[in-house]
């Protein structure tokens, strides 16, 4: 990798600054400033696109989504004969384990920092504020408690 390119400097960890970036943008922002505009969600950087508020709340809690038919098609192409029900059962069990792991390791909805830029950046779904995001996080926290117990 060319060390003159920014990615090369990060990968090579050539300075204290780049070493901080290898940990995360959130970590670098706590050292150098800029937490208000660092697009980090629960410690992870945002994917390269801004969509609506639901997606942004999903990033905060580490939720991901895949199209069921696409997954089933990929499994079939790889020689696996799974039904939609099989995939849904596996997905539910995987999600239960993921939530339980995150809770066991200290993940907390209340401690999540909401990057101000996601509030300030126009959304295809229209404007929203931090209170909207916090309300959605409370709903998700309640849902997670129920889901893990079921």
Closest CA to 87 of 72, 77, 100: 72
Looking at the structure, do residues 52 and 121 belong to the same domain, yes or no?
Answer: yes
Quick check: is 124 in a domain?
Answer: yes
Task: State the pLDDT at residue 18.
Answer: 82
Given a cut of 60, is residue 1 above it in pLDDT?
no
Given a cut of 70, is residue 4 above it in pLDDT?
no
Residue 41, both tokens: 């969600």
- pLDDT tens sequence across 64-104: 777 889 989 999 999 999 999 999 999 889 988 988 898 89
- Answer yes or no: are the C-beta atoms of 60 and 133 closer than 8 Å: yes
The mean pLDDT of 121-139, rounded to a whole number, is 89
- Answer yes or no: are the C-beta atoms of 103 and 148 closer than 8 Å: yes
**For the chain, what is the domain count?**
2
Quick check: is 43 in a domain?
Answer: no
Task: State the pLDDT at residue 42.
Answer: 77
Quick check: is 12 in a domain?
Answer: yes
Quick check: is 27 in a domain?
Answer: yes
Q: How confident is the model at residue 144 (pLDDT cuts 50, 70, 90)?
A: confident
Expressed as residue numbers, the domain containing 100 is 48-149
- Spatial distance between the Cα atoms of 36 and 113, rounded to a whole number of angstroms: 9
Quick check: is 113 in a domain?
Answer: yes
Looking at the structure, do residues 53 and 34 belong to the same domain, yes or no?
Answer: no
Looking at the structure, do residues 79 and 111 belong to the same domain, yes or no?
Answer: yes
Residues 6+ apart with CB under 8 A from 41: 56, 59, 60, 62, 112, 115
Task: State the pLDDT at residue 71.
Answer: 87
Quick check: is 33 in a domain?
Answer: yes
Looking at the structure, do residues 57 and 98 belong to the same domain, yes or no?
Answer: yes
- pLDDT tens sequence across 25-62: 888 999 999 887 788 887 778 876 777 888 888 888 88
Neighbours of 38 (CB within 10 A): 21
DSSP annotation of 46 reads P
Looking at the structure, do residues 25 and 7 belong to the same domain, yes or no?
Answer: yes
The mean pLDDT of 101-127, rounded to a whole number, is 86
- Answer yes or no: are the C-beta atoms of 20 and 28 closer than 8 Å: yes
């Amino acid at each position: 990798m060319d060390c003159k390119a920014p990615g090369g400097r990060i990968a090579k960890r050539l300075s204290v600054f780049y070493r901080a970036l290898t940990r995360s943008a959130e970590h670098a922002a706590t050292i150098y400033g800029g937490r208000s505009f660092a697009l980090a969600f629960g410690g992870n950087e945002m994917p390269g696109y801004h969509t609506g508020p639901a997606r942004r709340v999903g990033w905060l809690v580490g939720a991901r989504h895949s199209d069921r038919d696409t997954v089933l098609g990929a499994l079939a192409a790889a020689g696996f004969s799974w039904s939609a029900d099989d995939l849904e059962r596996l997905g539910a069990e995987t999600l239960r384990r993921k939530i339980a792991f995150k809770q066991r390791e200290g993940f907390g909805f209340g401690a999540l920092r909401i990057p101000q830029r996601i509030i300030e950046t126009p959304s295809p779904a229209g404007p929203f504020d931090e209170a909207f995001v916090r309300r959605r996080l409370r709903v998700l926290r309640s849902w997670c408690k129920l889901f893990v117990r079921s």
